[in-house]
Amino acid sequence: MPNSSPIGIFDSGIGGLTLAHAITELMPNEPIIYFGDTAHLPYGDKSATAIQAYSVKICNLLLEKNCKLILIACNSASAAAYDLVKAYVGTKAIVVNVIDPVIQFLDQHWSGKMLGLIGTKQTVNSGIYSQKAEALRKDIHIKSLATPLLAPMIEEGFFNHTISEQIIKENLLQPVLQNIEGLILGCTHYPLIKKQIDQFYQGRVDVIDTSLIVANEIKRILESEDLLNKGKAGDRQFFVSDYTDSFEKSTQIFFGETIKLTQFPIWDW
């Protein structure tokens, strides 16, 4: 596949734009095709079977657009659909999820530590982070808490706000998250509330921003495969399965700049 082929990124909504932005900052020449499945969000309360069906449909679009790498920019979809997507895509593109790069990071930096994780019900109930951390045999323990109010709150623009401060505080004070040394942000929405989480912990707990970890891993993979775009800066295209004006306005919150969303027809979904 050509170096100039795009990176494909998909998420249940616009939360994955935090990752798209991190990738753009790190690799500004890389063309990007983003798909937010806004018609079906949030994935966090969907069944694994439904998430798998949505993921395969989206991958068809990204493969049609000749993506060299597909990033499942959603923890729920990474937990539920990664193996299926990887098998489905085969050798047509590299497939990356948002969980394995974080596990590699924990392997290198967090041996013998007690960590907390916040994420959607789907991600937490899958137990995937705990299972993968345990398999490292590095005495890493993860205590997980489902925080279903946080992603919708962020999607609606309620962060850096007294309402979000109270909801964040209520979650982080839960008994399961006490006596941790680090907190994994197990949802691509959550980098947008990292500042408020940092303020809550006042330096007592390290907050692990997964978007930066995943962006760095994608750069490493493209370098190792000699697939970095060496030409001029590529185009960025953003698609959603359901379009609203307010949704397009809120993309500025996630991406740091105003972007144009295009509705992609999904009449057979």
The residue type of 55 is S
Q: What is the spatial distance between Cα 203 and Cα 115, in angstroms, rounded to a whole number?
A: 15
Q: List the structure tokens of 244.
A: 């609203």
Q: Which member of 74, 192, 213, 214 is catalytic? A: 74
Query: Are 151 and 16 in contact, with CB atoms under 8 Å apart?
Result: no
Q: Which member of 124, 183, 187, 261 is catalytic? A: 187
Nearest to 171 by CA among 193, 204, 155: 193
> Is-catalytic flag, 187?
yes
- Residue where the block lists tokens 């692990």: 208
Q: List the structure tokens of 94.
A: 């590299």
> Is-catalytic flag, 67?
no
Q: List the structure tokens of 203.
A: 């330096």
Q: Residue 1 burial by CB count (10 A; 0-12/13-18/19+): exposed, middle or buried?
A: middle
Catalytically active residues are 74, 187
